[in-house]
């Protein structure tokens, strides 16, 4: 009974079923490999984002310590941390601080220009960042006249004074410490 047109239909059905089952197993194995690869890719991206967010969180106390320091090694160490974290505005401010400690005029100018570009770019990206305005104020007040970097002193001072109470305690402490020696920003301005 299972013969039709010269073929054993029961055997054909069995072969087709086996062939179908083999393809299904192969498909499922490839499907699982693809799903596993996609899951691994998402996990990799998630971990990368988590470490990037953690790296981008700036530890401000060591930064302001280096900014107030005249120790080139401490500044270089903090510059390395900032470069890895991608904090361009802070890195720019430290580069300009480093310029004041460099020996050769060529190095001074190179550090200052590189820092200025990074700080100004960061300010364009975050125009309301009071912390960056404070750093620019510090740099502008101490910059030599030859570099022509004093145009925004009053604007930065106003923003720092206006937002002083909203800043973190570390930044407030740095501003108060700076105001003790500043000719532009006075302690009484901050009250």
Per residue in 1-52, pLDDT (tens digit) is: 555 555 555 555 566 666 666 666 677 677 666 665 555 555 555 555 544 4
Which residues have a Cβ under 8 Å from the Cβ of 44 and sit 6 or more positions away?
none
Dist CA 101 CA 142 (whole Å): 12
More confident residue, 114 or 1: 114
Residue 55 confidence (pLDDT) above 50? no
Mean pLDDT for all residues in the chain: 80
- Residue 8: what are its φ and ψ, rounded to 5°? -85, 105
The average pLDDT across 80-87 equals 81
Which residues have a Cβ under 8 Å from the Cβ of 48 and sit 6 or more positions away?
none
Dist CA 152 CA 135 (whole Å): 12
The two tokens of residue 18 are 């086996």
pLDDT (tens digit per residue) in 141-156: 988 888 888 889 999 9
The two tokens of residue 72 are 């080139």
pLDDT-based confidence at residue 191 (cuts at 50, 70, 90): confident
Is this prediction's pTM over 0.85? Answer: no
Residue 98 confidence (pLDDT) above 80? yes
């Amino acid at each position: 009974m299972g013969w039709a047109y010269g073929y054993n239909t029961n055997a054909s059905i069995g072969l087709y079923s086996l062939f179908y089952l083999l393809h299904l197993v192969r498909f499922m194995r490839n499907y699982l490999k693809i799903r596993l690869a996609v899951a691994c890719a998402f996990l990799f991206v998630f971990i990368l984002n988590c470490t990037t967010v953690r790296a981008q969180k700036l530890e401000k106390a060591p930064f302001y310590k280096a900014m107030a320091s005249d120790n080139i090694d401490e500044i270089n160490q903090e510059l390395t941390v900032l470069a890895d974290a991608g904090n361009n505005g802070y890195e720019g401010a430290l580069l300009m601080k480093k310029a004041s400690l460099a020996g050769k005029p060529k190095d001074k100018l190179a550090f200052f220009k590189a820092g200025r570009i990074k700080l100004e770019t960061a300010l364009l990206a975050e125009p309301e960042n009071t912390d960056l305005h404070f750093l620019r104020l510090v740099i502008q007040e101490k910059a030599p006249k030859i570099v022509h970097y004093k145009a925004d002193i009053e604007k930065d001072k106003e923003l720092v004074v206006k937002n002083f109470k909203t800043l973190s305690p570390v930044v407030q402490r740095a501003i108060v410490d700076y105001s003790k020696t500043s000719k532009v920003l006075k302690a009484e301005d901050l009250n």
